[in-house]
Structure 1
Amino acid sequence: MRAGGPLRYRRRVIVEEHWWNGDRTTRGRRDVYIRTDGRQWQVQAQIGGATGRSKIQDCPSRGAATILAGAWRGSGTGWRELPR
């Protein structure tokens, strides 16, 4: 896992899915993203908005990324999938 910061892709990165926990305060906001450059898959969990902390995990496939993103969201209600 890497600390938050710019991702280093060799190709254009696409956010495939993005969820938000619905908290409008910077401190309580949480986001989970699935991203790909067409070859690599990553899941990012971000806490505290754009200036907060994040955790990034590489995944071997889209399926693995989807499972990890679900685990990082947990069973809490209120998560919303945001449009791309």
Structure 2
Amino acid sequence: MEVKGRWWNGNWGRIARRDIWLLSDGHRWRVRGRLGGDGGREVAYEFDDEQQARAMVNRMMETSAGAWRDLTEALRQEAQRLRAD
């Protein structure tokens, strides 16, 4: 599945950190959420369309503390830079 969106709540540490990914294979959409950084607890939800998946991303951000940061474009640029090298 290809990453279509990536967000981080701006907090470091196993207790406070939250991460969200929006992924798609072109037909199905998946939202992954992780509590606590690498090795933390993860949840995943599957959806038939992008609108439902993005609504879940928004709900997850609204119910979790932090100054959410959209990392999608930064990660896309980094991937392009690495491919060019």
Q: TM-score, normalised to structure 1's length?
A: 0.77
Separation in 2 of the partners of 1:69 and 1:62?
Answer: 10
Separation in 1 of the partners of 2:66 and 2:17?
Answer: 14
Whose radius of gyration is greater, 1 or 2? 2
The percent of aligned pairs where both chains have the same amino acid is 28
Question: Structure 1, residues 58-81: CA drift from partner, whole Å, max 9, x if none?
Answer: 011011111110001116550000
Q: Which residue of 2 aligns with 1:81?
A: 70
**Aligned CA-pair RMSD:** 1.4
CA 1:77–1:47 in structure 2 vs 1: closer, same or farther (change >3 Å)? closer
Q: Secondary structure at the match of 1:57?
A: strand
Q: TM-score, normalised to structure 2's length?
A: 0.77
Where do 5+ consecutive residues of structure 1 fail to align?
Answer: 1-12
Question: Structure 1, residues 1-48: CA drift from partner, whole Å, max 9, x if none?
Answer: xxxxxxxxxxxx111001100001132110111101111101111101
Equivalent pairs, count:
72
Structure that is richer in helix per residue: 2
Corresponding position: 1:63 with 2:77: no
